[in-house]
Structure 1
Amino acid sequence: MDYSVAAVKMYVTHLKPAKPAKELTSNGGSAFAIGSLIFQRVWLQGVLVQESENTSLSLQDGTGVLPLQIGQEALKPGMYVLVVGAYLLGADGSPFLLVHKIVDLSSNPDRDTFWRLEVAEIHKLFYDKLMNASTH
């Protein structure tokens, strides 16, 4: 994992077309690609959900749900959190996020509005051109 590369700010729906990148990152780790945007880590924000008592937590951001792999922390469904982690595929090919950082933002009443504006701006300025570019 190349921690010197920033995590891309995304919505869960943005990650649907992600495919394993053909090239490896500078440290030899695997990466993913959406168009010509190559990444290893993502930054997401949303509400923690648990589909059943036996399952781990997932992140629901209003555009989709992504399972999380996190340690045993004092986290509860319903919390609004910021998560940063490695975007990976499980043995069955389904994506999940191996969480490196999680922050409870539940006490900030404007958290979701600001996040949506921030993601929209960064996509308009940077990511959209890369995500819509073809990789050859």
Structure 2
Amino acid sequence: MAAEDGDGDDLVPDEFFAPKIFLLMLKTAGKQPTPGKNGEATYKFTNIAHSPTFQRVWAQGVIVHRAEDGTAFTLDDSTGPPAEVVVPSTCDVASGGGLRVGAYVSVVATVSPRHSRDAARTRAAHALTAVKVRDLSDDVHREAHWNVEVLEGMKMLELSHHHRAGWVGPPIDS
């Protein structure tokens, strides 16, 4: 099954597409009735008219809590409730200083219902299971770049829908 834009137009395979998001956006991630090709749940942003179907998201933020055994951390990007991120042994983790509290990281993760153990720490509607984690603490422009990347990504999704629908845009004044 491929991700689609709400009108039945295929975009990309569910299992690989990961929209860049702010954590606040997880509040509007609605579970879809049809699972992906791999059997995992699929989601759409309920407040975006032509939201693609996805199973993974790409988020960035600061680690504000870390499980002692290193199997989970809480990610905060200051846009909404922090998200619990589970780090399975299969996760590709690349970081110089380890996943430490205070590190600014990039996470590609599958979306799932909130894990019961994070209920006391976060109010997030969903939990994330990390596929890949990168420590970006040394990049001084990381947050500014991320803010632009998320907004540009959402804008491109909307423009790609209009392009496929034959919309050419408003006339250009000369």
TM-score (norm 2): 0.63
Q: Which amino acid aligns with 1:76?
A: R
Q: Which amino acid aligns with 1:59?
A: L
Per mean C-alpha deviation after superposition, the further-off stretch among 119-128 and 60-69 is 119-128
CA gap 1:27/1:38 in 2 versus in 1, 3 angstroms: same
For 2:138 and 2:15, the matched residues in 1 are separated by 30
Q: Deviations over 1:40-78 (max 9, x none)?
A: 000001101118979942110111210110147721110
For 1:119 and 1:54, the matched residues in 2 are separated by 31
The match for 1:30 among 35, 38, 41 is 41
Identify which of structures 1 and 2 has the higher relative contact order when contacts are C-alpha pairs closer than 8 Å and 6+ apart.
1
* Fraction of identical pairs, as percent: 30
Partner of 1:112: 143
Q: Which amino acid aligns with 1:40?
A: Q
Q: Which amino acid aligns with 2:28?
A: P
2:63–2:73 contact (8 Å) kept in structure 1: yes
Q: Which runs of no fewer than 5 residues in structure 1 stay unpaired?
A: 131-136
Is 1:61 equivalent to 2:77 in the alignment?
yes
Q: Which runs of no fewer than 5 residues in structure 2 stay unpaired?
A: 1-12, 120-124, 162-174
For 1:100 and 1:61, the matched residues in 2 are separated by 19
Per mean C-alpha deviation after superposition, the further-off stretch among 63-72 and 13-22 is 63-72
Q: Which amino acid aligns with 1:13?
A: L
2:19–2:153 contact (8 Å) kept in structure 1: no
CA gap 1:87/1:127 in 2 versus in 1, 3 angstroms: farther
Q: Deviations over 1:74-132 (max 9, x none)?
A: 211100000001010146595111001000000000001001011111112215998xx
CA gap 1:26/1:116 in 2 versus in 1, 3 angstroms: same
The match for 1:102 among 123, 133, 136 is 133
2:86–2:129 contact (8 Å) kept in structure 1: yes
For 2:66 and 2:106, the matched residues in 1 are separated by 20
Partner of 1:76: 100
2:15–2:55 contact (8 Å) kept in structure 1: no
SS of equivalent to 2:53:
strand
1:37–1:127 contact (8 Å) kept in structure 2: no
For the aligned residues, what is the CA RMSD? 3.0
Q: Which amino acid aligns with 1:88?
A: S
Q: Deviations over 1:21-44 (max 9, x none)?
A: 012223333211223431100000
Instruction: Name the larger-Rg structure.
Output: 2
After TM superposition, the runs of 4+ consecutive aligned structure 1 residues lying more than 3 A away are: 51-56, 90-94, 127-130
2:15–2:54 contact (8 Å) kept in structure 1: no
Partner of 2:20: 9
